[in-house]
Amino acid sequence: MNKQLKWVLVVLAGLFFWKAGLGQELRFAVNGIPPELRESAEAVTRYSHTRILVTDPRKMILQVKKAVTVLSPRGEYFGVAHVFYDKSRKIADLSAEIYDASGSLVRRVKQKEFSDQSAVSDISIFEDTRVKFFNPPTDRYPYTVYYQYEVRRDDTHYFSDWFPTHSPLVSVQEAVYEVVCGPGFAIRTKEMYLPAAGREVTPDGSSVYRWHVKNLAACGEQPFAPPPRSFLPHVLIAPVNFRYKGMDGRFNNWEEYGRWVYQHLLEGRDEVPEATAEKVRTLVAGLSDEREKVERIYRFVQEKNRYVSIQVGIGGLQPMQAAEVDRLSYGDCKGLVNYTKALLSVAGIPSIYTEVAAGEEQRSYLAGFASFLQGNHVILCVPLQGDTVWLECTSKVAPFNYLGTFTSDRNVLLITPGGGKITRTPSMEGSYNRRSAVFDLHESGEASVRIETEFSGIFYFARHALARATPRQARQLIQELYPLPNLEIESWEVAQPEGDQPLTREQLNLRARGFTNWSGDRLFLPLNPLNRLNQLPGRITERKVPVWIPESYTEEDTFEFRITDGFGAEYLPDNTTLTLPFGFFSVRTRMEEGKLIYRRVLCLNKGYYPPATAEKINEFFREVYRADAQKAVLTMP
């Protein structure tokens, strides 16, 4: 055979195998999904291959190929082909294909058909992240979206966490994650709920890490589910040596990480103009108590500055100069924390810039695994004698030393000159809302209602909107908060008195027509018209994840219904008390001279409980729901 022909055959064979390989890879008939993966899923990741190549610390290439079958309208979100990019992340190649249920190709989508829009969050005023996305316009379910892209970036400090699926509504048929490190580049890895990587060294000295997940069934949406990060498998990766905005760095633990961040991003950014320093000294002059000084300075910062979110380039990690914040009177979280820290140091009070993962998910920094961007926010830690004060510097209205559900009770990272240290923010204690109401009932069925409620702890901001509403908005809000029939609002007041504990107090005077209902000579009286549980947590048959109650709190409601003398109760619901590890509920009803007294207490206890608790928690809330819907029946003998 002549050489040329041989070569042609080799190429053809290669082409054939390549095609065959592709054919196999793209076989997306819906009947190829094992039934157990469809059961609780709205979408199924048929195949995903994520590959990260770092040949040297200045270049990272991300290659993704992914096929998602969308089973129902609720899964549509998961079938949107999308890729994020910005100035330092460039898309090299992007395309998609749409398949129908039988797995045959419906159409190809070119890069120019993708929508392109800013991916700036609602709170930001300046970001440059953009997203290209394509959402197939179809309502013929199921369908499959296959897409692939490549993104290149110059920084190597950060690897996104890899999740085979981010959602409990998505099953995974097969997912592969590969990280290829060139000879001059090393990483540390941390697997969560996944076996360790297979690792190979290629002849050229590159290390190839490979994680492989097959047939991961979605567990479905579950009430009281813990945050996905605490049960979905994922992989965290941190570089040992990296490059970020032209700076080289290296760390193996939090201490080294913290030292690098302090030296490269924080140090020397806390100079404030002399005029401001003078103001601070006047502010704290004559105060002997350190805590009081901190509070004065915190109030000053709250009044002077406002929060803006600016996330561009190095601004994503480095605070603005304190002098700049002083001049502009605004800054992002880093800028405002750094500024507050600068003012405190003028008063001779040391404080520590602290990284935190903000949000209701209560994500903790992993003590044993250091990496960039485990958090998304910074707060200020002020260690005082015997008591540490924590400051949220982005809020103009937060009480002093108040972290709320946003940053309390989780591991955070202190960035000290000597390096990073993991510590824990305090949890929210003593959260309650305590309501007492008097209902004056009239013959006509109308009720005049006086309500006084105190909100504390996590409920401090419960009336934030009402306190700032115009009269028209306030009327609407109150109607939503207290859905009494034919409500007339006579007056309302929200106050936040100064004191040791953050407290919000609400006072309302209302009138409701048709509040009670006559049937013949019987009067039907709803016992809990103000704080009803109006939705039951959904039921599920097979619970797979723990039950999570994110916050402890107590609700106390005491209602006094004043009725005309002589009425007797034909029917009052039985008194109820439920005491369980996760909560407590009690309802007491009693008749007194001319009045009916109702008292309801509901407590929940923060924590993780075994999956089997789900059934008990369901019964618990059904009982609450049942009790809340009860009506008393009164008669005139």
Partner 1 sequence: MTAPSDFMPAVRFELSEVKWFDGRVSRYTKTWDDLDQELKQEKDFGLAVKKAVNRLSAPLATLIGDHSRTELEKAQRLYRHFQQRFQWNGKFGPFASEGLDKAYREGSGSVGDINLGLVAALQAAGFEAHPFLISTRNNGYPADIHPVISNFNYVVAHLRLKDRIVLLDATERLLPFGMLPHRCLSNKGRVMDFEKSYWMEIPATGLFREITQLKLTLDSASRLFGSYSAYKYDYAALKFRHEILETGDTAKYIREKEDALDAMRIVNYRLRNLDSLDQPMIESYELSFDPQGEGRGVIYIPVLPLENMEENPFKLRERYYPVNFGTGWEIQNLVEINLPENYRAATLPEAVGISLPANGGSFILNVTQHGNRINVLSKIVLSKPVYSQAEYYYVKELFSRIVQAQAGNIVVEAME
Q: Which residues bind partner 1 (CB under 8 A)?
A: 72-74, 137-141, 445, 475-476, 479, 483, 485-488, 513-514, 517-522, 524, 536, 538-539, 570-571, 622, 625-626, 629-631, 633
Q: How far is the CB of 549 from partner 1 (least distance, A)?
A: 21
What is d(CA 405, CA 212) in angstroms, rounded to the nearest whole number? Answer: 36
C-beta of 190 vs 475, nearer to partner 1: 475
What is d(CA 503, CA 233) in angstroms, rounded to the nearest whole number? Answer: 40
Sign of CA dihedral 372, 376, 381, 387: negative
53: β partners: 61, 180
Q: How far is the CB of 340 from partner 1 (least distance, A)?
A: 44
C-beta of 448 vs 605, nearer to partner 1: 448
What is d(CA 328, CA 322) in angstroms, rounded to the nearest whole number? Answer: 10
Q: How far is the CB of 611 from partner 1 (least distance, A)?
A: 20
C-beta of 82 vs 522, nearer to partner 1: 522
Closest C-alpha to 596, from 525, 518, 532, 529? 525
Q: How far is the CB of 165 from partner 1 (least distance, A)?
A: 20
Q: Where would I find the H helices in 26-149?
A: 35-38
Using an 8 Å Cβ cutoff, are 322 and 342 in contact?
A: yes
Closest C-alpha to 482, from 531, 537, 552, 427? 531
C-beta of 105 vs 633, nearer to partner 1: 633
Using an 8 Å Cβ cutoff, are 532 and 483 in contact?
A: no
Q: How far is the CB of 99 from partner 1 (least distance, A)?
A: 15
C-beta of 221 vs 454, nearer to partner 1: 221
C-beta of 18 vs 518, nearer to partner 1: 518
Q: How far is the CB of 332 from partner 1 (least distance, A)?
A: 35
Q: How far is the CB of 352 from partner 1 (least distance, A)?
A: 49
Closest C-alpha to 393, from 340, 351, 348? 340
C-beta of 51 vs 622, nearer to partner 1: 622
What is d(CA 300, CA 277) in angstroms, rounded to the nearest whole number? Answer: 12
Q: How far is the CB of 198 from partner 1 (least distance, A)?
A: 39
What is d(CA 94, CA 122) in angstroms, rounded to the nearest whole number? Answer: 27
What is d(CA 159, CA 162) in angstroms, rounded to the nearest whole number? Answer: 8
C-beta of 20 vs 633, nearer to partner 1: 633
Dihedral angle, C-alpha 2, 4, 9, 11, nearest 10 °: 160
What is d(CA 156, CA 243) in angstroms, rounded to the nearest whole number? Answer: 5
Using an 8 Å Cβ cutoff, are 506 and 449 in contact?
A: no
Q: How far is the CB of 519 from partner 1 (least distance, A)?
A: 5
Per 3-state DSSP, the chain is made up of helix, strand and coil in percentages (nearest 5) of 25, 40, 40
Closest C-alpha to 590, from 572, 576, 570, 565? 572
| Secondary structure of 131-176 as H, E, C letters | EEEECCCCCCCCEEEEEEEEEEECCCCCCCCECCCCCCCEEEEEEE
C-beta of 482 vs 559, nearer to partner 1: 482
SS3 488: strand
C-beta of 296 vs 622, nearer to partner 1: 622
Q: How far is the CB of 631 from partner 1 (least distance, A)?
A: 7
Q: How far is the CB of 272 from partner 1 (least distance, A)?
A: 48
Tokens of 37: 């993966």
CA 172 to chain centre: 23
C-beta of 411 vs 630, nearer to partner 1: 630
C-beta of 116 vs 248, nearer to partner 1: 116
- Specify burial of residue 288 (Cβ count, 10 A radius: 0-12, 13-18, 19+): exposed
Q: How far is the CB of 612 from partner 1 (least distance, A)?
A: 20
